[in-house]
A and B are shown apart, each in its own frame.
Chain A
Amino acid sequence: MADDAKKQEIFDKMKNGVIQYDEDACKEGAQEALDAGLDANEAIFDGLVAGMEEVGRLFEAQEYFVPEILMCADALYAGLDILKPHCKQMDIGVKGSVVIGTVEGDVHDIGKNLVKMMFDVAGFTVYDLGRDVPLDQFVEEQLKTDSELVCLSAMMTTSMVGMPKVIEKIKAKNPNCMIMIGGAPTSQELADKWGADGYATDASNALKEAIKMVSFLKKLRDEKLAKK
């Protein structure tokens, strides 16, 4: 096992790789982490996710915009693809599966893909329905997979209005299913009115919400480790 300084060096390489959208650095860092016998989950969270948290901050500070975030996401995935096969199942007390897609009438999927990425890193099983997804397909997929989370995305006001129908149908069949809505026209008011459990208005917001969710999972994991 590598010493702490070496470990931090490897994690920092991945973290900075994500921040500087350097896919090669992320790949190298991930491989070094495996070669050094480091825990893959830890490398994902303390390397890749830590980098993405900083990217979220840079976006908020308007130093980064969407093109940069997309490139950072590519770098993150480059590392994730190497680490993922070596992840132990995260035992955090949730089954962790999510149905995600952009609603019918909308072909924008950037926000949706960023949220999906954070579920990917968190080890969720992601059922990605893609974009322009007929409303009933969300309901069917949730029932079929018994996912505890459904994420509906819409970039345009003109497509957002299909959301309440999906929420109503899913909640009628499965009241415990959590539903997150996302997209520029969404708001807390609409989420409340339509019975959604969360919302995110833009890519950074979606990223932040997803990071929050994933950071929460990380905290649970740390607490669990501390108990051992």
Chain B
Amino acid sequence: MNSRERVLDLFKGKPIDRVPCFSGMGNITEEGINKLGYKFAAIHSDAKMLADTAASTYKLFGFESGVVPVDLCVEAEAMGCAINVYPHAEGILYPTIKEKLIHKEDEMDITLPSDLASKGRVKLICDAIKLLKADIGNDVVVGSYVLGPFTLAGQVMELNDLLKLSFKKVDKVAKLLDLMADAIIIVAKEYEKAGVDFITVREMGATSDVLSPRVFKNLILPPLQKILKELTASSVLHICGKTNDIVTFMMEAGPSAISVEQKNDVAETRKKLGKDALIFGNYDPYNVLVSGDENLVRSTMRQCIDNGVSAVWPGCDIWPTVPPQNMRAMMDEIKNYGGKE
């Protein structure tokens, strides 16, 4: 069974030969970018460069997915936010939102552009998905990601205000999050049409480090359910930080799988959600994969598997300066250890 079949079967709940090692979030490497001779700041606005870069982690290391986009600004940009790609940066800087749509509470009543699917870089990402599929789509799954409603709302308005209003003006925030869900659905549908195998919904901002499980259940869960109900591709719901108290809500949101990071006690999550739940995670992509040595990489991979992850998958974007030998050690360890019961 090749990597693609392995991951697709995993999503279908069929038995597989070993735990796969992939990600639905950013996983491009400096090694890949340099080999292609591209400049990081340029790849975000060129479908071919984006697709080539996204394919390189599989081609160089055997990583079991290819994912575009690689930045977090696509939806907000399509809605009208200006972004900064840091064209003059020497090193790697990911794009950020330069200009918000909502500056104060009484500006929250916004509407979506009627042609959202053709705004910003949505089409460009779809082109990149098609190129990526044509390039490596027979060998590995091709994925894409969208933000979660709360995380996206934190981009289009001041996060500080959003957080306070989630407490003071719940109805207003709920209405905004519902609109964010609509925007996310429109973008995700385009990615599905372009042929992605799976979509990750990244609701980083709604971690229990920031919001109480109660607010998560009342405010974040409904728009997440709305989004995940609309998706036809396999889906993964990712939340950073502390998540042990909300993993059941994450499952209730209705994704095919949930993704958690290193702060989650996966053994406990496995106990809570049962043996059939798809739990992806949960190694620290920086402190293990980038700054750790090969031994730490290998022991962490074994630990993830022993704790019961369904797929070994990073807690966040893999930082591009990851040493190639660590990527190789990760893949090697999972191939050797990932089939053990």
Residues of A within 8 A of B (CB): 62, 65-68, 70-71, 74, 104-110, 113, 132, 156-162, 184-185, 187, 189-190, 193, 202-203
Within 8 Å of chain A (Cβ to Cβ): is B225? no
Considering the complex, give the chain A residue whose CB is closest to the CB of B97: A107
Within 8 Å of chain A (Cβ to Cβ): is B62? no
How many pairs of A and B residues are in contact by the CB < 8 Å rule?
79
Contacts of A74 in B (CB 8 A): 164
Contacts of A189 in B (CB 8 A): 287, 291
Q: CB distance A159 to B93 under 8 Å?
A: yes
Q: CB distance B209 to A202 under 8 Å?
A: yes
Given contacts A161-B319, A162-B91, contact A67 B285 (CB under 8 A): no
Interface residues of B in 163-202 (CB under 8 A from A): 163-164, 166-168
A185 CB → nearest B CB, Å: 6
Within 8 Å of chain A (Cβ to Cβ): is B86? yes
Partner of A113, one of B160, B167, B286: B160
Q: CB distance A66 to B163 under 8 Å?
A: yes
Q: CB distance A105 to B164 under 8 Å?
A: no
Residues 239-263 of chain B, each 1 if its beta carbon lies under 8 Å from chain A, else 0:
0110000000000000000000000
Q: CB distance A68 to B319 under 8 Å?
A: no
Given contacts A65-B210, A202-B209, contact A71 B164 (CB under 8 A): yes
Given contacts A157-B319, A187-B287, A190-B291, contact A66 B93 (CB under 8 A): no
Q: CB distance A66 to B86 under 8 Å?
A: no
Partner of A110, one of B92, B97, B159, B168: B159
Q: CB distance A161 to B321 under 8 Å?
A: yes
Contacts of B118 in A (CB 8 A): none
Q: CB distance B91 to A161 under 8 Å?
A: yes
Given contacts A67-B211, A113-B160, contact A105 B167 (CB under 8 A): no
Partner of A157, one of B166, B215, B316: B316
Q: CB distance A106 to B164 under 8 Å?
A: no
Considering the complex, give the chain A residue whose CB is closest to the CB of B211: A65
Contacts of A185 in B (CB 8 A): 286-287
